[in-house]
Structure 1
Amino acid sequence: MSLDTSTTADSRGGAASTGAADRGAHGAAGARVAAELRDAILAGVYPPGARIRQEDVAGRHGASRVPAREALRMLEAEGLVTVVANTGAWVTRLNLAECEEIYQVRERLEPLLLRYNVPLLGEDGIDALELLATRMEGAADIEVFLRLDREFHLSCYEAAPTTMLGDTVLRLWNRTQPYRRAYTSVFRSEGDRSVHHEHHLLVAALRRRDAEEAERVLASHIRRTRLELARHPEIFDTP
């Protein structure tokens, strides 16, 4: 009798271990698929409003349906994807009011995050920011500009450890990425070079370790984007 009990316990233990291992494998695969899908959304492969089919995600990213479903849940939590039960998933679309609200939040949070970083940025890091600002001026391709611009701003925030502020800013950046792409097309077509001027002003403030000026320049930079987006409501009508 004791032998049977022991065997049953071992069997259950093995099943539990196997189940835990499966969950761990699915979790890791889900995180990988979420990272790849996030990159695709930010790159414009899936524009706002585009439908994302779970089976397509699984096939494209070499995963089963379970990690694909988990990936969509992760991105839904980040606000990048909207999942409708028993219907499907779509890349989240923002209307003008929603986008303005996010930019208002960014105007207040990002300068604070920058303030934490100002005394921690090394001269080499500031040199790298200046080089990025210069390269952006000469970027002929919108996607190249967007990649450099993202690297420029997020590099300003990497030095200071934060509990939640850094992650919050990153998520806000990701949610507005498609509309930054549309805005970039507009200001480049109009020949507006204010964004480049502001980048160089920000680098100069960082070199002087002038946190107040750096905050002011950054808040104005974000605000101007918000106001320009409001001037082009047609951006939000694009299907």
Structure 2
Amino acid sequence: MTALSASSGTRDGNASVRVADALRDAIVAGDFPPGSRIRQEEIAERFGASRVPVREALKMLEADGLVTLRANAGAWVSRLSLDECDEVYQTRERVEPLLLRLSAPHLDAEALDRLERLAEQMAQTTEIEEFLRLDRDFHWSSYAGADTLVLGDLVRRLWSTTQPYRRAYTRLIDAHSQRIVHDEHHMIVTALRDGDIEAGERVVEGHIRRTRRLLAQHPEVFTAASTTP
């Protein structure tokens, strides 16, 4: 490989990662709903990249479960069926408590104070997207102390694939359920402050299970998105 081609390959690689990160954020933010078509030329224009790094970025997101690539047909934002979503949430119920257990001993007072502030901010906001951003920040901050080889990446992928359904859940819950969600966030912080990791694990497990059970009562959530061919 010549110096010129090596440099070009590096640039394309960096551009692919940049586009993948930006497109991942856009999908998680709801800019591209489940089942919607992703047109490479539009993505290239939107993120200021050529078609080659866009194709590579889409392959990265396919590996994350966020994008479905179809030969000779293009790319779509992945969509879960009710059964698939149920399975992902059941997996999260089991693995996220473990991730919290691995993280908890490494969270200092400053980290716990930040979790408390995030919990309070979530309780005060009335904006769904703001709540989702704070909620993601809260849970990932609670897992930040874990140094894992596999588990952290697995949970990130599961979070990304279920983000549209967390958004739907947030729109579905009533005021009583909202209070429970906020109380659970505070209970997680209290358990971490007390060093009661088992209690924290139980709250996280129930927190995730509640979302799964409510979504199972609303199958229309899984048919309302744009359809793929």
State if a TM-score over 0.5 links the two structures.
yes
Q: Which structure carries more relative contact order (alpha carbon 8 Å, separation 6+)?
A: 2
2:190 is paired with a residue whose SS is helix
Q: Structure 1 residue runs of 4+, over 6 Å off? A: none
The structure 2 residue matched to 1:56, chosen from 42, 53, 61, is: 42
* 1:27 paired to 2:36: no
1:228: which partner in 2?
A: 214
Provide Cα deviations, 1:172-199, integer angstroms capped at 9, x if missing partner. 0011000000000011477642101111
2:79 is paired with a residue whose SS is coil
Is the contact between residue 105 and residue 145 of structure 2 (CA under 8 Å) also seen in structure 1? no
* 1:73 paired to 2:59: yes
Q: Alignment identity in percent?
A: 57
* 1:96 paired to 2:85: no
The structure 2 residue matched to 1:134, chosen from 113, 120, 123, is: 120
1:6: which partner in 2?
A: none
Provide Cα deviations, 1:152-209, integer angstroms capped at 9, x if missing partner. 0000111121111111111100110000000000114776421011111111100001
1:193 is paired with a residue whose SS is helix
2:2: which partner in 1?
A: 16
Per-residue deviation, 1:115? 0.2
2:92: which partner in 1?
A: 106
2:151: which partner in 1?
A: 165
Paired residue type of 1:144: E
Is the contact between residue 95 and residue 155 of structure 2 (CA under 8 Å) also seen in structure 1? yes
1:39: which partner in 2?
A: 25
* 1:82 paired to 2:68: yes
1:47 is paired with a residue whose SS is coil
5+ residue gaps, structure 1, are: 1-14
Counterpart mapping for 1:119-198 below 5 A = 119-188=105-174, 192-198=178-184
Q: TM-score, normalised by structure 1?
A: 0.92
Cα separation, 1, equivalents of 2:175 and 2:17: 38
* 1:115 paired to 2:101: yes
Cα separation, 1, equivalents of 2:156 and 2:193: 24
- Which moved further from structure 2: 44-53 or 156-165? 156-165
Q: TM-score, normalised by structure 2?
A: 0.95
5+ residue gaps, structure 2, are: none
Cα separation, 2, equivalents of 1:124 and 1:235: 39
Per-residue deviation, 1:17? 2.4
- RMSD between aligned residues: 1.2
Paired residue type of 1:195: V
Cα separation, 1, equivalents of 2:49 and 2:104: 42
Provide Cα deviations, 1:123-175, integer angstroms capped at 9, x if missing partner. 11111111111111111100000000000000011112111111111110011
